[in-house]
Amino acid sequence: MQEIFNELKTVMEQGIPAMLCIVTATTGSTPRKAGSKMLVLTDGSIRGTIGGGSIEYQAIKDALALMSGSTSLSRRYHLEDDLQMHCGGTMDVYFESIGCLPRLYIFGGGHIGRALAGYAPALGFKPYVFDQREDIFASWNLPGVETLTGDYLQIIDSLNFDASTYLVIVTHNHEFDEKVLIACAPREYAYLGMIGSRRKIAEISNKALQENLLSATQLARIDMPIGLPFAAETPAEIAISIVAKMIDVKNSLKKS
C-alpha cells in the first residue's frame, strides 16, 4: 500500500502519466476486495495489485487505453463470463487518470504565450513553451511550465504529437508563425490555433494552397483567428480567449 502512495506522490509532482485503479465493490468470489489499489504506468508496469490473473491483465489493458484520453470511469468485470476466471464473482474498478494532462505546445514566449502558459496548468493542460530568442525565459517563474529555447522547426521534429496534443502559435514574427503552422498542421493533434489578422491568415492560407504545402482539409481544421471571439484586447484577455477555446475542444472530445 505504501508503495502506491509513494509512487502516486512522484507521479503527481512530476506530471508523469499514470492511471490509478481502485476496486470499489465486489460480489461473490474475487481475488481481491474493495479498497484494493493498483497504479499503472505508461509502459504497462504496475505498483500494487487488484488480484493478478485475467482481471489484472484486462484492467492494465483498459488503463493504458484510457490513459491517452485522460479519462476517468468505472467498469464492472464479470470474472467468469468475461474473463473465464473460476472465481465467478464481479469486480467494479474505478479508473482515475493521474498526471495525464493533455500536452499544450506554445510556440512563442511573448506576452500572450506567457499569459497562456500561466493559466494552462490550473485549467487542465500541461504547457511547454518554445522560443528562438535567447534569454526570453530568464525572468519566468511559472510553476508547472516547461520552456525550451531553440530553432522552432528542430524543436517540432523532437516533439511527440497525438490526438490529445494542443498547439498554439503566437510567435513574434509572421514568418515564424507560417513556418510553424506548415510544420505542425500535417501532424496529429486535438487542437491547432494561430494568432493573426484576417489578412495575414488569408495570405498564409493562399500560399499554402498554391504551393501545395497544406490541403484545404488541413487548413480547415486550424483555428484562426485563434480563440473564442470576444472583444479581447490585452495579452491576458487574448490568452483567456485561447484557453477557453481549448477547454471547449477538450470537453467536446470527451463527449464524442
Lowest pLDDT segment from 29-33, 183-187, 245-249: 29-33
Task: Report pLDDT digits (tens) over 39-69.
Answer: 998 888 998 899 888 889 999 998 888 875 5
Q: Which residue has better confidence, 97 or 142? A: 142
Q: Which domains are assigned to the chain?
A: 2-98 (no CATH), 103-255 (3.40.50.720)
Task: Identify the band that residue 96 occupies on the pLDDT scale cut at 50, 70 and 90.
Answer: confident
pTM: predicted TM-score of the whole model, two decimal places? 0.71
Task: Identify the band that residue 164 occupies on the pLDDT scale cut at 50, 70 and 90.
Answer: confident
Distances (CA, A) of 36 to 1, 32, 39, 42: 9, 6, 11, 20
Task: Report pLDDT digits (tens) over 145-157.
Answer: 999 999 999 999 9
Instruction: Look at the alpha carbons of 199, 205, 210, 213 in this order and tell me if their dihedral is positive or negative.
Output: positive
d(CA 130, CA 150): 7
d(CA 145, CA 147): 7
| Grid coordinates of 158 | 523532437
Supply the mean pLDDT for the chain.
Answer: 89
Task: Report pLDDT digits (tens) over 127-143.
Answer: 999 999 999 999 998 98
